[in-house]
């Protein structure tokens, strides 16, 4: 997926006797006394990270991971703190694992799997059979050799990771875009015919019977010709006992291709066939409130569908996204949490109320063409040594001046990450503030303030 350059089509680069009534009453009385009145009136503290909040809902919340970024401290720290599932971006694809026929290399993929397992994260396997990122030798094979090579590739890769992968994207993007609902031309489709998908799933079940087997595709998020074709495939497989456990919805959105109004209903109709549904490659181009609302809607749709088992965002930080210019992820290029992050955490039922600091906004002076904004940073119950907060304005607004902080900007120029000038230390409960001027350019909307992060 990191090789994609467009949304349609995107040639991709992927979770546990009382003996007498009197004695029971005494025991309960003792328990209540020991617990105190707070046990009756208090509430459990909400989870404060994406993975923990999702786990409380019986889901996973994962990210696509590139092995070559794991050595970057901020990347690894954000991944380890926030997510409980990973999908290798490119490291498990055919060109990375079997560049030469019969010779398998797993070093980079092993690095990701070992990293995840050492931290108790789930791993999604991505992907076994796909028309893209294929070594040239695959397309050159005749029909019999291609069938043998496909089945051997599935078997060798899955057995290498047997017991370590919770779900595999067995076949990826096998249908065309548009209104035909036809199969995509590929070496597998062209030489093995329609039966190659069924054969791949049967081979996969034999290779690792415990792994969940998924079909994965893009532009299938709403009810349309392509999603209907996938639906019919899954319905047929279920009726004939072909092993399929899940369907992956990539969910790449932008202003031209927004979250469809029937997104939840589409997920539900697949779930009603008796398969799990997973949001496998989520990213949403944009910024500020609009992006945050879209992310929140996707998460709420998944939570509303019992068999929606998890969500994976396609990357950790905007700067490494395959759509970097569209700033589509939950963390900006400096790993600051964006408004979309807060929207996702809130939708999952989590809370940043236990965070080390908070950021609150108030409008100050206002003129016909500009206004001043003020953000107050307040430490929580413990002292903090540093802080950051994000401010997102809506185009065509622009920030023309700042004070009491050091700003940095994302690629769009709409998201400002503010850090303190010099020493950012605040005592417990203490506050500081920074300010900025917004040139409205006809838009007087208030900026969106992201979560405060502290160390």
The residues that are catalytic are: 173, 281
Q: Measured between alpha carbons, how far is 60 from 350 in angstroms, rounded to an integer?
A: 14
Q: Measured between alpha carbons, how far is 84 from 121 in angstroms, rounded to an integer?
A: 5
Q: Measured between alpha carbons, how far is 156 from 97 in angstroms, rounded to an integer?
A: 10
CA count, 13 A, side-chain hemisphere, 51: 17
Question: Three-state DSSP class for 26?
Answer: helix
Residues 6+ apart with CB under 8 A from 114: none
Helices (H), 83-167: 94-97, 107-118, 136-139, 143-160
Q: Which two tokens stand for residue 353?
A: 């109320």
Q: Measured between alpha carbons, how far is 88 from 65 in angstroms, rounded to an integer?
A: 5
Q: Measured between alpha carbons, how far is 46 from 347 in angstroms, rounded to an integer?
A: 12
- Using CA atoms, how far residue 38 sits from 8, 44, 298, in Å, is 54, 11, 36
- Do the Cβ atoms of 302 and 308 come closer than 8 Å? yes
- Do the Cβ atoms of 51 and 61 come closer than 8 Å? yes
Q: Which of 397, 392, 437 is nearest to 417 (CA)?
A: 392
Q: Helices 288-304 and 339-347, interaxial angle, to 10°?
A: 20
Q: Measured between alpha carbons, how far is 53 from 58 in angstroms, rounded to an integer?
A: 9
Q: Measured between alpha carbons, how far is 160 from 142 in angstroms, rounded to an integer?
A: 26
- Do the Cβ atoms of 328 and 294 come closer than 8 Å? no
Strands (DSSP E) found in 367-424: 370-379, 387-392, 398-403, 406-409, 415-419
């Amino acid at each position: 997926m990191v090789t994609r350059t467009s949304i349609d089509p995107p040639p991709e680069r992927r979770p546990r006797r009382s003996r007498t009534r009197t004695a029971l009453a005494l025991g309960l009385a003792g328990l209540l006394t020991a617990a105190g009145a707070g046990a009756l009136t208090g509430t459990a503290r909400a989870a404060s990270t994406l993975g923990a909040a999702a786990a409380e809902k019986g889901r996973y919340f994962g990210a696509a991971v590139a092995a070559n970024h794991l050595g970057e401290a901020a990347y690894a720290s954000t991944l380890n703190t926030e997510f409980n599932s990973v999908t290798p971006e490119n490291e498990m694809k055919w060109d990375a694992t079997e560049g030469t026929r019969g010779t398998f290399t797993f070093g980079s993929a092993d690095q990701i799997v070992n990293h995840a397992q050492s931290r108790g994260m789930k791993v999604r396997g991505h992907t076994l059979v796909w028309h893209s990122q294929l070594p040239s030798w695959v397309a050159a094979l005749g029909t019999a050799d291609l069938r043998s090579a496909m089945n051997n590739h599935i078997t060798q890769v899955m057995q290498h990771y047997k017991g370590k992968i919770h779900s595999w994207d067995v076949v990826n993007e096998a249908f065309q875009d548009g209104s035909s609902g036809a199969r995509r031309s590929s070496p597998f489709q062209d030489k093995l015919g329609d039966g190659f998908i069924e054969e791949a799933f049967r081979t996969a079940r034999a290779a690792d019977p415990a792994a969940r087997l998924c079909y994965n595709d893009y532009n299938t998020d709403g009810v349309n010709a392509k999603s209907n074709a996938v639906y019919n495939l899954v319905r047929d497989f279920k009726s004939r006992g072909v092993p399929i456990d899940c369907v992956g919805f990539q969910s790449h959105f932008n202003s031209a291709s927004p979250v469809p109004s029937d997104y939840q209903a589409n997920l539900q109709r697949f779930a009603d066939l008796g398969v799990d549904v997973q949001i496998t490659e989520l990213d949403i181009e944009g910024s500020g409130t609009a992006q945050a609302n879209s992310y929140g809607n996707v998460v709420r749709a998944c939570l509303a569908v019992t068999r929606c088992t998890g969500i994976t965002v396609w990357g950790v930080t905007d700067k490494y996204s395959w759509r970097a210019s569209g700033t589509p992820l939950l963390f900006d290029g400096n790993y600051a949490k964006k408004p979309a992050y807060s929207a996702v955490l809130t939708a999952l039922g989590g809370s940043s109320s236990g965070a080390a600091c908070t950021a609150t906004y108030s409008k100050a002076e206002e003129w016909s063409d500009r206004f001043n904004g003020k953000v107050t940073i307040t430490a929580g119950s413990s002292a903090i040594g540093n802080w950051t907060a994000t401010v997102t304005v809506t185009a065509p607004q622009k920030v023309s001046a700042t004070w009491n902080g050091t700003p940095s900007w994302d690629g769009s120029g709409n998201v400002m990450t503010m850090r303190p000038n010099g020493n950012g230390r605040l005592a417990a409960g203490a506050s500081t503030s920074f300010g900025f001027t917004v040139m409205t350019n006809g838009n007087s909307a208030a900026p969106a303030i992201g979560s405060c992060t502290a160390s």
